[in-house]
Amino acid sequence: MMKNIYPLQFEPILKDRIWGGEKLKTVLNKPITSPTTGESWELSTVEGDVSVISNGVLKGKSLLELIDDIPNEILGTAVYKKFGKQFPLLFKYLDAREDLSIQVHPNDALAKERHNSFGKTEMWYIMQADTDARIIVGFKEKSNADEYVKNLENKSLLSILDDVKVKSGDVFFLETGTVHAIGAGLVVAEIQQTSDITYRIYDFDRVDANGNGRELHIDLALDAINYEKTDTYKQYDKVANQSNEVVDCPYFTTNFIPLEGDLLAKKTGETFTVYMCVEGSFEIECNGAQYSYKKGDTVLIPAAMSELVLSGKASILEIYIS
């Protein structure tokens, strides 16, 4: 195995948002400088927001540069064959001090046609939830474009949308077309396709310091919305020291690992793996070296790493492409 293949971490790309707060620092220890920091992009190749390696001999090199140099070793043989030199996923932590806007993401076909982009299938893992915190996901009952537009115009959209109370450890899987919003008082780990295409449809009539509302994309959203009632909540096992499947979709597989001690992880070389530490702390041992991680850390395991040992007491999300 090449010497410069090791577990990679990246500089967080911090995003100021009207709805953001300070929990990315207080809960996840991110180096925020603004009291309205809403997002930490952990692993990204979105244009203008490409992750830069923060550890080891490759420090300072961008993820795209590395993929360009050694695509099979980083992405994996199967991922490279399917996506070329594109990194197909985007990983974030979000802090919602206030409600996010109600929005929807287009599917692959619409996103390709309109924006030359991937669609945006995503999942949320709730890391921290204030009392009575909730999310908005989909419609209470099957709806249609006419009913939706009527309620939007009457400012009664919330009356037809599903409102779900959440707690730490809850997982929601949002296929494209699902109308959604993260509610106030939540810290969320988000895994999604590499896409920054969002259609904002309602923003609670908020305005900025100059009295301006944020741009809405009501017309674009109309034929992107799935008006069926959808089930987004994912139940999953939590068996210690093993990978418990949470989400398995065409875009990514996410497992939950309740680590209590040691776990040997063997890789096939077909796909990269990403670990997001959502609670506790752990170490990875590989090639005689040890690497330490804590809550809020995200690490990319290049596909060329065939065997590693995880040890510690932690809750870990394990993500790869199957």
Residues marked active site are found at 200
At residue 21, φ and ψ (nearest 5 deg) are: -145, -145
Long-range contact list for 207-216, CB < 8 A, 24+ apart? Answer: 208/18, 214/18, 214/101
Tell me the CA distances in angstroms from 286 to 75, 239, 304, one per residue in order.
18, 24, 12
Residue 299 contacts residue 286 (beta carbons within 8 Å)? no
Long-range contact list for 200-206, CB < 8 A, 24+ apart? Answer: 200/101, 200/102, 200/103, 201/101, 201/102, 201/103, 201/104, 201/152, 201/157, 202/101, 202/102, 202/152, 202/157, 203/101, 203/102, 204/99, 204/101, 205/155, 206/18
Query: How deeply is 159 buried, as exposed, middle or buried, from its count of CB atoms within 10 A (0-12, 13-18, 19+)?
Result: exposed
Buried/exposed 192-216: b ≥16 CB within 10 Å, e otherwise: bbbbbbebbbbbeeeeeeeeeeeeb
Q: Residue 109 and residue 127: Cα distance in Å, rounded?
A: 32
Which SS3 state, helix, strand or coil, does residue 201 take?
Answer: strand
Q: What residues does 262 pair with on adjacent strands?
A: 311
Q: What residues does 45 pair with on adjacent strands?
A: 50
Q: Residue 69 and residue 73: Cα distance in Å, rounded?
A: 9
